[in-house]
């Protein structure tokens, strides 16, 4: 069974994403902050990470850079989600090393499709963290 790690501090966003991915057949790990998420990523090596950008403490962009800088977690695809989506935010998010970006509220069909693509094929873009 493929696994997905969700890093999300908002309980209702977490529950929705968790329900959708569980129903799609993924094993789901959950973290409410970046530090916990990074530990779970190293321990479980999920097929994909869903990363909320606005998190208490370490934010999702910083967490993404840390995951990309770690030789173990470096290859795990990351889907960023954020309520804030100015065009330059999007650029900043993708430059941090995220593979995909979704604006909240999440469109769940698109969400599921992106997760499936990334879980099946690994990272789909050229490596932005280099
Ligand atoms: Mn948040």
Per-residue pLDDT reduced to its tens digit, 40-60: 999 999 999 999 999 999 999
Question: DSSP of 94-108, one letter per residue?
Answer: HHTT-SEEEESSP-H
CA–centroid distance, residue 28 to ligand 1 (Å)? 18
Question: DSSP of 20-63, one letter per residue?
Answer: HHHHTT-EEEEESSHHHHHHHHHHH--SEEEEESS-SSS-HHHH
**pLDDT at residue 123 in the model:** 47
Tell me which residue has tokens 């840390």. 66
CA–centroid distance, residue 57 to ligand 1 (Å)? 11
- pLDDT mean over 1-16: 96
**pLDDT at residue 85 in the model:** 66
CA–centroid distance, residue 61 to ligand 1 (Å)? 12
Per-residue pLDDT reduced to its tens digit, 77-89: 999 999 876 777 8
Burial letters 74-93, b for 16+ CB under 10 A, else e: eebbbbbbbeeeeeebbeeb
In terms of pLDDT, which residue wins out, 129 or 75? 75
- pLDDT mean over 100-115: 93
CA–centroid distance, residue 16 to ligand 1 (Å)? 14
CA–centroid distance, residue 40 to ligand 1 (Å)? 18
Q: Is the pTM of this model over 0.85?
A: yes
CA–centroid distance, residue 74 to ligand 1 (Å)? 23
Which H or E element spans position 79? strand 78-82
Bond from prior residue into 105 cis (ω within 30 degrees of 0): yes
């Amino acid at each position: 069974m493929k696994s997905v790690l969700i890093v999300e501090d908002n309980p209702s966003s977490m529950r929705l994403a968790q329900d959708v991915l569980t129903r799609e057949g993924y094993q789901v790990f959950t973290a409410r902050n970046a530090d916990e998420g990074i530990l779970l990523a190293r321990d479980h090596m999920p097929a994909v990470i869903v990363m909320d950008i606005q998190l208490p403490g370490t934010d999702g962009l910083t967490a993404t850079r840390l995951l990309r800088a770690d030789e173990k977690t470096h290859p795990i695809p990351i889907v960023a989600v954020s309520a804030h989506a100015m065009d330059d935010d999007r650029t900043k998010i993708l430059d941090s090393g995220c593979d995909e970006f979704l604006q909240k509220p999440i469109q769940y069909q698109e969400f599921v499709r992106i997760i499936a693509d990334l879980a099946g094929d690994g990272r789909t873009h050229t490596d932005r963290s280099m």
